[in-house]
Amino acid sequence: MIVQPGTEEVVAATRTWLEKAVIGLNLCPFAKAVHLHDRIRYFVSGARSPARLLDELMAELRTLHAADPVQCETTLLIHPHVLSDFSDYNEFLGQADDAIAELGLEGVIQVASFHPRYQFEGAGPDDIENYTNRSPYPMLHLLRESSVERAVTTHPDTTAIYRKNMDTLRALGHDGWRRLWLAE
């Protein structure tokens, strides 16, 4: 019997990943302030089908759009029970973009993708570089375009972030990545 993680456990694991990997390794130089000011909404989906997840995604897109950015700047829609296969997840991203368009939120909100089996195109499944986007559970990161634009003005060479992240993970290696999670 497989025991599914509870909401608190999912959020705790996601926060740990955010603090140790995303912020700790500085994979996203913009995440720290949003985290420290508690402007991240963690929504753990109970969906067990892509159709139900799509419904919840649309609701979360509306919620984020309606929220005051000072209170909620971004949303992590974590879905531990659906799209555990990365290829299925990757295909779902097209539906996520369609949902944004359907709600008239193109140019307002975008989706960044994170998955436990994330794999960049052209990369091998065990390449360490994939870990820049490997999260404890499948998730859709809903970002306000205005937040992205503001971040880009403070860090105009965003392609340097990607290159630096790859270098960071290569230097860390698989052993370093494993040690990161042992230091609890």
Report pLDDT digits (tens) over 93-137: 999 999 999 999 999 999 999 999 999 999 999 999 999 999 999
Q: Give every residue of the chain whose pLDDT is below 50, as ranges.
A: 1-3
Which amino acid appears at position 29 of this protein? Answer: P
Contacts of 120 (CB under 8 A, 6+ apart): 127, 129, 130, 133
For 110, the token pair is 């975008």
* Calpha distance 40→34 (Å, rounded): 7
- Whether pTM > 0.85 for this model: the answer is yes
Number of helices (H) and strands (E), helices first, in the chain? 6, 4
